[in-house]
Amino acid sequence: MKCQKCEKPATFHITEISSGDYVALHLCADCAEKYLKPKSDNGENWIQKQAKLEQTADELAKVDQKSCDVCGITFYEFRQSGRLGCPHDYVCFEEELEPLILNIHGETEHRGKRPKRPLLAQEQQTEMIGLRRKMKEAVENEEYELASELRDRIRGLEREDPS
């Protein structure tokens, strides 16, 4: 696709919404910079905005290092996969997840149906997740006796599950 302002290849695809109308623009990098720069200068210059973006990137790098005590997943791994490792992650990453959940669902509290069958107790779920992680580490470290003991404990917990 070609730029709508010149003949270069379009690398920026901008959709503007104004009073219910959608306007799609396809621009090359040079034309996109010219188009976006005046719109973003609301009393701040381009360099100040760039500095704010770098500050945000540094903050995100710190948050990415944060990890769950139970399952060991880092916030970076969550951002890459889109999946949390265990129920404890909602507590561990609460500050970071709350705005995301609010943005996606419009609420931060569950409203709706719940499973009819009883779920494993929270402590039991957390223990099973921890045991599975330890078993995986034991296998990776070739500690097969420990891995088999952990497997047996997991099976025992699964048998206790009333579902």
Residue-by-residue pLDDT tens, the chain, 163 positions: 888 888 888 888 888 877 777 788 888 888 888 887 755 445 455 445 544 555 577 777 888 888 888 888 898 888 888 888 888 888 888 888 888 888 777 887 878 887 776 666 777 877 888 899 899 999 999 999 999 999 999 898 888 765 5
Whether residue 116 is contained in a domain is answered as no
**In-domain check, residue 113:** no
Same domain, 53 and 100: yes
Shared domain for 52 and 99, answered yes or no, is yes
The domain of 11 spans: 1-40
31 and 68, same domain (yes or no): no
Predicted confidence at residue 40, as pLDDT, reads 46
| Total domain count, the chain | 3
Same domain, 60 and 92: yes
98 in a structural domain: yes
String of DSSP letters for 1-17: -B-SSSSSBP-EEEEEE
Q: Are residues 98 and 55 in the same domain?
A: yes
Task: State the pTM of this model.
Answer: 0.46
How far, CA to CA in Å, does 46 sit from each of 29, 31, 34, 58? 16, 16, 12, 19
| Residues 52 and 28 grouped into a single domain | no
